[in-house]
Structure 1
Amino acid sequence: MTTVAAYAAPAAKAPLERTTIERRAVREHDVLIDIKFAGICHSDIHQVREGWGEAIFPMVPGHEIAGVVSEVGPGVTRFKVGDRVGVGCMVDSCRECENCLAGKEQYCLQGQTPTYNGIGRDGEPTYGGYSEKVVVDENFVVRIPDGLALDVAAPLLCAGITLYSPLKRFGAGPGRKVAVLGMGGLGHMGVKIAHAMGAEVTVLSQSLRKKDDGLRLGADHYHATGDPKTFEELRGSFDLIVSTVSAPLDFGAYLSLLKTEGTLANVGAPEEPVSLNLFSLIGGGRSLAGSMIGGIAETQEMLDFCAEHGIGAEIELIAASEINEAYERVENSDVRYRFVIDTATI
């Protein structure tokens, strides 16, 4: 085992603090990664504060990991020392169920192993990317193309795949009108990716405060949901809406913006239950769908797509000592658009 420095929350709602953790010795098919950058996802905050339920402490968050391979197990065939790699939201799955065999490990019927706040199949707790190193099975590691800088690539391992997967699944592309609801860490990636796919892209945001950014990143239109006229003007406009909002919404109002048989795909995960009048679905033959990250193969596909189109996250690089402040700023929507930790500062 190897002792490495990390930032951890010792208890629910406690500030994160510098500590040390143990990483397992490299096994037959393991890859040891020197972490260079780790993104801060709103999911980290939900879990550190037990907003999604009881959690495991101490917790080392972080599932947007970019780094360089420094050691490989004797059976590793996919990677070699020096490769630029990433790790996203999961580090294992059963690998036997129909979903795993279909490349949808995120929906493993036995439960995928999360990168942190989970228990691995060896019975040990998992610790995430706010640390110097991580050991991961090669089957859950992806290659970061040379055209992507590691710092702007890190958030793609969650934010990027979270938007790429539903945009691809529901046919974002030429001739399709796509709305991205929420212009934050997830939403700004949705704008970039949907634009690169060739869709006509609209941002739906609470205000017009980030309009210039939205248009610069690839949106064709930008509307404020805080203005009731928006819902009148845009009624029946979109083939697809992807909601990134992690707070309860008036789903009826947003479903009314869809064309007949349009889809609202939800990737935001509010802590509170939401309500829905089913007539808002039935009336137009509309669909309300969910999506959670993507499988390993699709994540690699997303990274290759982003490299081909010059897409990285818009980031603010911070030192590890600024993590707690960054959490507060995320809660206050005071980031454009993803905090990334320089792990050399841990």
Structure 2
Amino acid sequence: MVTMRDVAQRAGVSVATVSFVVNGSKPVRDETRERVEEAMLALGFHRNPLGAALARRGHTRIIAMLYPALERPLTPTAVAFFTGASRRAREQGYDLVMWPIGNDAEQVAVLARTGLVDGVLLMEVQLEDPRVDALRTAGVPFAMIGRTAEPEGIGYVDIDFAATTRDAVARLHALGHTRIAFVAGSEPGYQHAARTRAESAYRTAVTEIGGPATVIRVDESPAAGRALGERILTDHPGTTGVVILNEHAAAGLLIGLAHAGTSVPRDLSVVSMSTSAYMAEMAEPRLTYLRAPGAELGEWGVDALLERILSPDHAPRQRLLACEYVAGDTLAPAPAGAGAWAGA
């Protein structure tokens, strides 16, 4: 491996001078810099960007996005958050790395102690998230895509799940649906803040329209969705609409409904919430959905984090954005004779 000493010998300068050129830590005369760079090129010496950043500023200009891949499945919607965040980070002169570690405080503390990153962006936030206390204790700047139960004093961006859920229920109700089920992921021991807020908003919304609250939790997989589709009208007779917050199960749900002889949307309407065009187009019929603003929130999340890094005395940035309705082929008027729920 070519070293700075090799470069120094070829260029006829000291190792310290090579270090100044490589790291940009001290000014060097133009003719000396040219000799050093010519020697580097001839020998195939490559700069270490991490070392250079630390030498110049004591910072790496690298930020980490923490995704709890051991606890949460990765979806195309989540990928949109990554790409948006990466694009904004690059625009601001930072590199973003995805860190798919578990959602526990010790692993986060280990990352924080390395000094490899200037800040951390948390995803898939729990109502009580141990990563928050770990980062606070370590003194590492951070922001969240999502929010804890009490996010005061923390920078975050999040989907407005209350507004998005009300929108989904209202669109079904406008077409005569009152018996609307809510399907979400089943995550024992994982207090997913998004699911909890959406479920709470659903219960309020269906109560306001005079319908029963039917909450169904299934694993986040196509197989679980398919099994639910095959039995949902047997287990919950009279249901005419479904709001689903379970991207992995949505396409399977439609397959299971078809196998059970249930026509979508003639017999049952389905609205998928916080999903992506990619997942909606995989379903048959094509899903009606509320698009997750992944790219937008990824960019905003980086903005919130850089604000904590560069201006820690400023009030933290906190923003919500509702999902956008996209018409598909799974929403229609309630079946004739469905009527309003009378408590029976």
Q: Report the TM-score, using the length of structure 2 for normalisation.
A: 0.35
Answer 1 or 2: which has greater strand percent: 1
Answer 1 or 2: which has greater helix percent: 2
Q: Report the TM-score, using the length of structure 1 for normalisation.
A: 0.35
